[in-house]
Amino acid sequence: MLELIDITKVYKGQKRAVDGLTLRLGPGLVGLLGPNGAGKSSLLRIAATVTRPTRGQVRFDGADAVTRPAPLRRALGYLPQDFGVYPHLTGQEFLTYLAAVRGLSHRSARARVGELLDLVNLAHAAKRPLGGYSGGMLRRVGIAQALLADPRVIVVDEPTAGLDPEERVRFRNLLSDLSADRSVLLSTHIVSDVESVATRIVVMAAGRIRFDGDPGDLVRSVAGHVWELPVAPADLPGVQQRMPVTRQIRTGGHVRVRVLATQRPAPDATPVAPDLSDAYLAVTR
């Protein structure tokens, strides 16, 4: 089990990026949601032992992973937000090189790289230089390298950036399968990335946890507080100032808005069932 206990991270001359946060990860897929600047990447870098926390403990299977990170590093697959590649190497060469860095024997590296290229649907491009790969293909190389050593803990930072809708679905399903007997921590600011696959949602804002629990409980926390109402386009700015608008749909000359309000916000407002996006907005506000 990976435990992040009372973690604070302060960068030089900055406010707290992570502010006394505790997170314990067992098997399953945890969706870490939060707006830009919430501190998600900082927390993930600490979990991946790339950065040390200013204060707090990282424990892996009960042992301190800040002063002795090796056991966690061996068990970890990490895909950072700014994952870089060597453009002159082919996909196969690059993954084989990283497998060697991770200590896989030549023989098992060959087999593993082949398996992973199939898994991320890049077998057809294995012998082409990475410099010619699209953004989505490079993302898939990043995912493959995170899985090289069959990790028990998988930490992925905004992994679906640059993927097309079909690739997003495939990737979500892959992580969901992997999380059956592993810990997967996936950070994103896109609610739909975790909506159908997360067994637990952690919402972070300004370095702190705003919600940690079952996705259904998060949605239920705003039951009765989500409404839809028609608005004339000229009145829209006023509505946006008075209450949080979670969505707006233009139809003809009108706009239908979806808003958060504890009480019926207008006589013609109708109550609607909340979804995860509504609840996410409510807790990060």
Ligand X SMILES: Nc1ncnc2c1ncn2[C@@H]1O[C@H](COP(=O)(O)OP(=O)(O)OP(=O)(O)O)[C@@H](O)[C@H]1O
Instruction: State the minimum distance, in angstroms, from the CB of residue 46 to ligand X.
Output: 10
Q: Whose Cβ is closer to ligand X: residue 36's or residue 262's? A: 36
The least CB distance from residue 270 to ligand X, in Å, is 34
Residue 201 β-bridge partners: 31, 213
**152 or 200, CB closer to ligand X?**
200
Q: Which residues pair with 153 in a beta bridge?
A: 76, 183
Question: From edge to edge, which strands make up the β-sheet containing 2-10?
Answer: 16-25, 2-10, 55-60, 63-64
Q: Residue 15 in contact with residue 38, Cβ under 8 Å?
A: no
Residues 155-174 that bind ligand X (CB under 6 A): none
Site string for ligand X, 112-151 (x = CB under 6 A): ----------------------------------------
Contacts of 141 (CB under 8 A, 6+ apart): 85, 91, 94, 95, 120, 122, 130, 133
Rounded to a whole number of angstroms, the CA Rg of the chain reads: 21
Closer by beta carbon to ligand X, 66 or else 236: 66
Residue numbers 60-79 binding ligand X by CB under 6 A: none
Say which residues have a Cβ less than 8 Å from residue 254's Cβ, sequence separation at least 6: 230, 231, 232, 233
Interaction with ligand X in 24-53: which residues (CB under 6 A)? 34, 36-42
The residue from 189, 208, 225, 247 that contacts ligand X (CB under 6 A) is 189
Q: Is residue 17 a contact residue for ligand X (CB under 6 A)?
A: yes
CA distance 247 to 72: 41
Residues of this chain that bind ligand X (CB under 6 A): 11, 14, 17, 34, 36-42, 81, 189
